[in-house]
């Protein structure tokens, strides 16, 4: 009797192990198939890149946190990219301040002719001027979404490009001083937003720098973000908009990347299009029913790491990576 039970147990063990072996094989080949269609992109890694930035505190130009974060971004990108250039410059603000700034330019295969440009801004806004609570409006923001999210996605993109090199060359620029524009309550004529991209467009890191096109990420980390065809993007680079929204739809991200027009935003890509003459689109979270047209915590103290959703980072990262790997 005991022997019979033992045999039975052995048989069950062998059967289940065979079975699980079979399942393993099936799921492995499934994964391999999926990998061809969707590139590897770790949402957790991207999230931790966002958190590392916000852990420094608000990255307002001239602050200690800003300086420390610049160093962190430089050293991180040096691990993944072939070349990193720190482009330092001074910028004059709407209130007569002088800011010490850096555009951080990281390149893959800088010698290649055919290349694309990816960008996000790494500074965070000095004032939460859209905060519902009056006392908060003079405080700086954490900028987890507005700034750090785009940079975090591009850091993970860089980590993946280092693991699996694309055919084309890629430049990743983290622009400084995008968000030091005039307070909501003031109207001071002048180009006070996007100071880093304005500087780079007039002083590219390389003479005769060329890229086929560019992709800007701005506010790509909120839950259920909605990315519409932004106005400047559709005006200067309609074919790039179609390409990117098409890739995203094929990956199953149609809930995020919506094929409808939306507001025109003065963002870094405006200066890359008009001054550097590189067609660049903006993947930026807009909402039809919010007061500002942006996500509800825009330029408030609530734009912090607690309101970052790694699913959104993943959707954007996988879309950008697929676009890059499809370029030959």
One residue of 171, 267, 287, 314 binding ligand AHN per CB under 6 A: 267
146 binds Zn ion (CB under 5 A): yes
Cβ atoms of residues 217 and 285 within 8 Å = no
131 binds Zn ion (CB under 5 A): no
Pick the stretch among 78-86, 233-241, 260-268, 272-280 that binds ligand AHN (CB under 6 A).
Answer: 260-268
> What sign does the dihedral 213-219-224-230 (CA atoms) show?
negative
Give 75 or 291: the residue with its C-beta nearer to Zn ion: 291
β pairing state of 227-229 and 213-218: unpaired
Give the one entry of Zn ion, ligand AHN, none that residue 97 binds, where binding means its C-beta sits below a cut-off of 5 to 8 angstroms depending on kind. Answer: none
> What sign does the dihedral 159-160-163-165 (CA atoms) show?
negative
217 binds ligand AHN (CB under 6 A): no
Write each residue from 14 to 33 as x if it is in contact with ligand AHN (CB under 6 A), else as -, in one continuous string.
--------------------
Nearest approach in angstroms of CB 139 to ligand AHN is 16
One residue of 174, 193, 256, 271 binding ligand AHN per CB under 6 A: 193
Taking the C-alpha atoms of residue 114 and residue 217, their distance in angstroms, rounded to an integer, is 21
Cβ atoms of residues 115 and 327 within 8 Å = no
266 binds ligand AHN (CB under 6 A): yes
Phi and psi for 148 in degrees, rounded to 5?
-60, -30
Chain-centroid distance, C-alpha 73: 14
Residues lying near ligand AHN in the complex (CB under 6 A): 146, 179, 193, 218, 265-267
């Amino acid at each position: 009797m005991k022997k019979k039970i033992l045999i039975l147990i052995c048989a069950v063990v062998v059967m289940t192990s065979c079975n699980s072996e079979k399942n393993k094989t099936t799921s492995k080949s499934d994964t391999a198939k999926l990998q061809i269609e969707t590139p590897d992109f770790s949402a957790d890694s991207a999230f931790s890149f966002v958190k590392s930035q916000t852990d420094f505190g608000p990255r307002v130009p001239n602050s200690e946190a800003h300086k420390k974060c610049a160093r962190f971004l430089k050293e991180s990108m040096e691990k993944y990219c072939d070349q990193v250039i720190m482009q330092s410059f001074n910028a004059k603000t709407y209130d007569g301040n002088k800011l010490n700034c850096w555009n951080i330019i990281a390149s893959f295969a800088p010698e290649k002719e055919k290349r694309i440009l990816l960008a996000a801004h790494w500074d965070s806004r000095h004032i939460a001027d859209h905060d519902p609570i009056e006392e908060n409006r003079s405080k700086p923001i954490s900028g987890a979404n507005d700034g750090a999210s785009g940079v975090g996605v591009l850091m993970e993109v860089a980590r993946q490009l280092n693991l699996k090199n694309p055919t084309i060359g890629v430049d990743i620029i983290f622009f400084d001083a995008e968000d030091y524009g005039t307070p909501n309550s003031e109207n001071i004529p002048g180009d006070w937003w996007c100071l880093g991209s304005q500087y780079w467009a007039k002083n590219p890191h390389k003479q005769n720098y060329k890229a086929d096109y560019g992709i800007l990420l701005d506010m790509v980390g909120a839950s259920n973000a909605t990315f519409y065809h932004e106005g400047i993007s559709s005006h200067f680079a309609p074919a790039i908009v179609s390409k990117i929204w098409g890739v995203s739809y094929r990956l199953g991200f149609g809930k995020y990347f919506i094929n409808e027009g939306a507001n025109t935003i003065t963002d870094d890509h405006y200066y890359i299009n008009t001054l550097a003459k590189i067609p660049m689109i903006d993947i930026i979270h807009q909402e039809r029913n919010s007061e500002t047209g942006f996500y509800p915590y825009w330029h408030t103290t609530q734009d912090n790491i607690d309101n970052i959703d790694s699913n959104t980072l993943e959707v954007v990262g996988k879309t950008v990576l697929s676009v890059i790997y499809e370029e030959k």
